[in-house]
Structure 1
Amino acid sequence: MELWIPITIAAAFSQNLRSALQKHLKGKIGTTGATFIRFGFGFPLAVLYLAVILKLTSEAVPDVGMTFYWAAALGGLAQIFGTFLLVHLFSYRNFAVGTAYSKTEPVQAAMFGFILLGEQLTPLGIGAIVLGIIGVLFISFGKERPSSAVVLSTLIGKPALIGLASAAFFGASAAFYRTASLSVEAESFLLQAAFTLVCVTAFQTAVMGSWMTVSCPAELRAAIRNWRLSGLVGLAGIAGSIGWFTAMTLQQVAYVRALAQIELVFTLAASWMFFREKITPVELAGCILVSLGGVGIVIAAS
């Protein structure tokens, strides 16, 4: 099995845990606060991870050029906007469906990967991504019986548009991160990913922290008061980010983000176990399609 596959699955699990904790905290610290803690409380852990990688590889802090700086900055901003929209989306539908709307990301990641890196997909890869997207739409039907009206609402309703925008930002951030990571002059892919992660997280923490200090200091204080849960979000978030950055250094962003849709399996499980939300046959069918799409992605990328 190629290394990027288990790394991506582990990252998807960590991201699901982070999203669940963010949803729980959203009512206490607001949407902006719940977005900030992913970066602010994860940054010290990212620095620690980089220190460990530098020790293990015996390499020095790598050199970078202008490509790294603009790609890392744009990727960081795109991820902030994507996270904010995803957290805001939880206000409209249940936990499982809220996450599902953002899962059109692989298609958009493929587009940005082609534009920025010239990456192309095989026919099997494209088919697997489409299969996964169909599964996402099944899950996004929620508790309603599928019908033309429900499909229309799913595709053009306000939650859908927010989810699509969130996916676009996440897709762009993935392509920018791969661009930045591949530009780092280091022998180890682990160091390329870790260094990029630290720089991006530092930038995101500074941007959001400064903006919140001026515009919504109450949410910043609330995030600090809830430091225990905020710290757990930071830990889960940085664990997921380590996985994403490493996997996207090894493999095309479209394949990584498509396989990451396996997160929906974890999402539905969390929805059932922690939020007591029932899973319908339609959602289950969607989950199976997403899983089959993930298998197709693994085969196509091998």
Structure 2
Amino acid sequence: MDLWIPITVFAAFCQNLRSALQKHLKGRLGTSGATFVRFAYGVPFAWLYVWGLNAGLGLPFPELPLVFYPLAFLGGLAQIAATFLLIHLFSYRNFTAGTAYSKTEPIQAALFGWLLIGETVTLSAGIGILLGVIGVVTVSLAREPKDLASMASALSSRPAFIGLASAGLFGASAALYRSAALSLEGTGYLMQAGFALALVTLFQTFVMGAWMAVRRPAELSATIRTWRSSVFVGITGIAGSIGWFTAMTLQQVAYVRALAQIELVFTLLFSVFVFREKLRQAEIIGCLLIGAAVVVVVLAS
């Protein structure tokens, strides 16, 4: 089994935990605060990881080429905006369709991978990516009204467009991050991914912190008061990001983000075994499509 596969599954699991924690914190911190803690409380753990790679494994720190900075910083800004939009979706009562559209990220990641890096996917991998997107959209809309008018209204609503924009920004940031990490040559894929992540997270913390100090000082103060809860967002967020950066250093973003759709299966399993909820038929069909997509993408990689 290629190493990027278990790393991606691990990252998806961590992202699932982090998203649940952020959703819980949103009511106490607001959209900006819940977005900020992901980065701010992750910075120490990101640099601790880099230090461990250097001190424990003897991996050298990389020299930063000029091309690294625009790639990393544009990727960081795109991820901030994407995370903000995704958390903002929870403010809407009809956020389900928006969440479904946010799952089109693998298709948009493949597009940005082609536009920014010149990466292409095979026909079979493209079919797998499409199957996965259909699967997650099926699951996301499983509890929506089934009549055509209601479905059309949901899919053309404001949350739907926010979800689509969020997916596009996540896809762009993934392609930019891969390019940034690959530019750090000669240090090994672990240090390439880890050092890029640590610098990007520090940049994101600085940008968001400065903006919130001016525009959202109350929310910024709240992120300090809730440090006990926020630190877990930072830990799970960085653990997932380490996985994403490492996997995307080893493999094309389109394949990584397609396999990442398994996150939704984790969510459903959690609801069944922890909350004892019963799955609907559409959710089961969606999970089977996601499973088929994972098999196709893995075989095509």
TM-score, length of structure 2 as denominator length = 0.95
Q: Secondary structure at the match of 2:91?
A: coil
CA distance 1:85–1:223, change in 2 (3 Å): same
What do the CA deviations read for 1:77-130 (whole angstroms, capped 9, x no partner)?
000001011111123358987644311000000011001111001000000111
Separation in 1, partners of 2:111, 2:162: 19
* Contact 1:10/1:243, CA 8 A, preserved across alignment: yes
Q: Aligned pair 1:255/2:244, yes or no?
A: no
> 1:286 offset after TM fit, Å?
1.1
Query: What stretches of structure 1 of length at least 5 have no aligned partner?
Result: none
CA distance 1:243–1:183, change in 2 (3 Å): same
**Equivalent in the alignment of 1:185:** 185
What do the CA deviations read for 1:242-285 (whole angstroms, capped 9, x no partner)?
00000000000000000000000112234456677653221221
Q: Secondary structure at the match of 1:10?
A: helix
* Contact 1:184/1:192, CA 8 A, preserved across alignment: yes
Letter in 1 for 2:58: S
**Equivalent in the alignment of 1:243:** 243
How many residues are treated as equivalent by the alignment?
A: 301
**Equivalent in the alignment of 1:75:** 75
Separation in 2, partners of 1:150, 1:294: 31
CA distance 1:228–1:64, change in 2 (3 Å): same
- What is the percentage of aligned positions where both structures have the same residue? 60
**Equivalent in the alignment of 1:212:** 212
Separation in 1, partners of 2:74, 2:276: 38
Separation in 2, partners of 1:199, 1:142: 40
CA distance 1:40–1:180, change in 2 (3 Å): same
Q: Aligned pair 1:118/2:118, yes or no?
A: yes
> 1:200 offset after TM fit, Å?
0.3
Which range moves more in the overlay, 136-145 or 121-130? 136-145
Letter in 2 for 1:17: L
* Contact 2:95/2:159, CA 8 A, preserved across alignment: no
What does residue range 69-218 of structure 1 map to in structure 2 within 5 Å? 69-92=69-92, 99-218=99-218
Which range moves more in the overlay, 57-66 or 215-224? 57-66
Query: What stretches of structure 2 of length at least 5 have no aligned partner?
Result: none
Separation in 1, partners of 2:162, 2:238: 24
* Contact 2:105/2:167, CA 8 A, preserved across alignment: yes
> 1:147 offset after TM fit, Å?
3.7
Separation in 2, partners of 1:2, 1:284: 28
**Equivalent in the alignment of 1:285:** 285
Which range moves more in the overlay, 153-162 or 239-248? 153-162
* Contact 1:74/1:173, CA 8 A, preserved across alignment: yes
Q: Secondary structure at the match of 2:104?
A: helix
* Contact 2:106/2:129, CA 8 A, preserved across alignment: yes
CA distance 1:275–1:208, change in 2 (3 Å): farther
Separation in 2, partners of 1:260, 1:190: 19
What do the CA deviations read for 1:150-175 (whole angstroms, capped 9, x no partner)?
44234322221111111001000000
What do the CA deviations read for 1:130-189 (whole angstroms, capped 9, x no partner)?
111111221121413534224423432222111111100100000000000000023310
Separation in 1, partners of 2:81, 2:18: 17
**Equivalent in the alignment of 2:22:** 22
Q: Secondary structure at the match of 1:90?
A: helix
Separation in 2, partners of 1:95, 1:45: 32
Q: Secondary structure at the match of 2:143?
A: coil
Separation in 2, partners of 1:93, 1:103: 18
What do the CA deviations read for 1:46-80 (whole angstroms, capped 9, x no partner)?
00000001123423321111211000000000000
* Contact 1:96/1:264, CA 8 A, preserved across alignment: no
4+ aligned runs moved over 4 Å, structure 1: 93-99, 271-278
The CA RMSD measured in Å over matched residues stands at 1.9
Separation in 1, partners of 2:5, 2:46: 22
Separation in 2, partners of 1:243, 1:15: 10
Q: Secondary structure at the match of 1:164?
A: helix
CA distance 1:289–1:274, change in 2 (3 Å): same
